Structure 1
Amino acid sequence: MESFVWEWGSLLLRWLHVVAAMAWIGSSFFFIHLDASLKRTPDIPAGEGAAAWQVHGGGFYEMRKYFVAPEHLSPDLTWHKWQAYTTWLSGFVLLAWIYYAQSRLYLVDPAVMDLSAPVAAALGVGALALGWLVYDRICRSKLGESETGLAAVGLLAVTLAAFGFSQVFSGRGALIHTGALMATWMAGNVFFIIIPNQRKVVAALLKGERPDPSLGKQAKQRSAQNNYLTLPVVLMMIANHYPMLFESKATIPLIVALVTASGAVIRFFYNRRHADHARSPWWAWAAASVGLASAFVLAVAGSAGGRAVLGLPPQAEGPPTTALASATPPDHVVELVAGRCAMCHAAEPIWDGIGVAPKGVRLDTAEAIGRQAEAIRRQVVLTHNMPPNNVTEMTDEERGVIAAWLTDTAR
């Protein structure tokens, strides 16, 4: 029953996280677009506001933005904050549920660094907290006064973070933590900067006072950064489904840098286009295409099968892992898995159409099978989810053999 609880909990948390992220990203993109499309209107004095007209669902909408409090300001203001908070909170719980509570399966790779579960979790949480403090300090420094300089340092920080995570965690753990770090910056911007500053501005306007212009400037800067980080973060969140991105720890930092830069350039295109279609920076698509194509080449070159396709020499084998001896399967189980699973789950898969082991899971050695014992139990014994559509015709008797081994291992 425990395995089913873990799976069901993962499903519900992921569902909540995705829905919350959709709401957050949707509202963010909407207001960025709205701000960019605002135009002067005769009934609002110059410098005091602007408006934009939109059509949707058969109706027409006039959106007005006031730079100062209008004469009749409703106290029932809608604050767009809980989308961000719910996204981060659900994401962190999901991170803990999958990667910290099941660290041996998803986060810790003994070939990289053999960490205990508590140490791995502490490193992950500590890195997120420290990452926010460093990022916030940089934004508040003199460097934060230059948008270009801040963007360059931010890209460097993301790349260095990816490198650091790849030195201590599994490939998928490194990518998910890099994405979580960027998401922490974004949620922190909303919680610590944007919403508090907005509250101060609203309070001043309601009193008839002139708000401190630095509050709005700071909030707008952080909001813009969130906008540029959105696309890279989304890709990091789904990257664990694409092992070609994290098979080689040597390529992870460069792939992260290229994806982050490409995603930001794509957002730059839309931000400029929403403001003035005639001045759309079409070159941005060429730049993003080059960046993503480069990331693709690096990802292919980082996989064993990809290197063979590119005519590159094979990478040196890493040090042997230190899987628990109690999980190491007997020879007849290794033979069974080799015949039913290892044609896909190998360093160089031989199944047509598969270039990298699905989810980065290798089952081509006894040690690798032992490390994936819990995943095998869930996918092969409890649910019959693997092999997919039972393409290799694994019999119930063979599943029983695997179940017997797993039962012996659990004793």
Structure 2
Amino acid sequence: MDLKETQHSPRRRNFVSIIAAGLASLVLIVWIISGKTYQSVDSDHSPAIKAMPTSTIPSLPRVQTYELSAKTFTPKLILQGTLSPSHQVQVYARTSSQIQERPAKLGQWIEQGEMLVQLDTETRRALVEKAEADVYLHRSELEAGERLFKNRLLSEHEKLRLRASAAASEAALADAKLALAHTRIKAPIAGFVNSLPLDIGELVQPGDVIATITDTRNLKVKAYVTQQDVGRMSLGNPLKVTLLDGRTFFGEVTFIANLADVATRSYAIEANINNPDGLRIAGASATLEIVLPEVLSHRIPPSLLSLDPSGQIGILAVNNEQVVVFHPLTLISFDTDYAQVIGLPDTLEIITLGAGFTQPGDKVEPHLQESPL
């Protein structure tokens, strides 16, 4: 460092000190002035400050409500069921013989009394002829015995034996004629020939299945209803049956089981529907829409439903004292948009917004909405 720089450094330091002192004085003056200004402002508003309360009363929770009224509703019960023929009969052989003719054709419509199968009659006719001869013989013996008995040439015991033999021969003749009649196997009901398992020439025995006759002009639809819903049903309830392809049929409930199924604990129901065209729908699955009696119910969006601590479904509402109340209810019908419920008062003010911040017993500030749910 040279001598010249050493001589000027004290002067610079003095100059900087003077400037710093001046700035500090200016800041101090500004602070003092501003303090007086704030004090004046505070003094002007001091009455307002003194008038402010030291504590505030908390406001009631605000909820949005809607006045809900009961209306007439026709509930419908939706079930899944199966269609079956109202009449289906398996025809059995009642005598042993060989199939001689089979006039019935598989799948054809056959009237009641028409012949399905003709069995061989040769053996049966021979048995009938033999039985007729036996009857003639025993009747002749009985007539002769009665003449001898009148002349006291025959004991009463022998006469009774001849009478019993004659009666037995007549019974044998009746059996032989019946066996001959059983060689003509006829349709017991009108319907479609659904099976013909045996062919001409085959030997049949009593109990063999000859044919299956199915009447599909009248159908029976069977379904199962839960324990909760069976009490709402009654005989004669109208219903609509919809097939998978969209075809619909109409009928009414004809049977409701009095005992629940052991496995499912549900109750079987049946209904009859007409199928005059004989459409091939027996055995198909179907959806049943059963119309139940009209009731007074409320229509509520499912999002407003809630559960109480015990698991009971219900809805929160506000009573006349503006207190939150839980009303239990019963669902009778629902979809993604609305639920139809019963068990509520005819008219009530339900909470539509803010229910999550309240509980039964809370006092609230309700605001009634005008727009529908």
Q: Shorter-normalised TM-score: what interval?
A: under 0.3
Q: Which has the higher strand share?
A: 2
* More relative contact order, 1 or 2 (CA 8 Å, 6+ apart): 2
The higher radius of gyration belongs to 2
TM-score (normalised: structure 1)? 0.19
Q: Which has the higher helix share?
A: 1
TM-score (normalised: structure 2)? 0.21
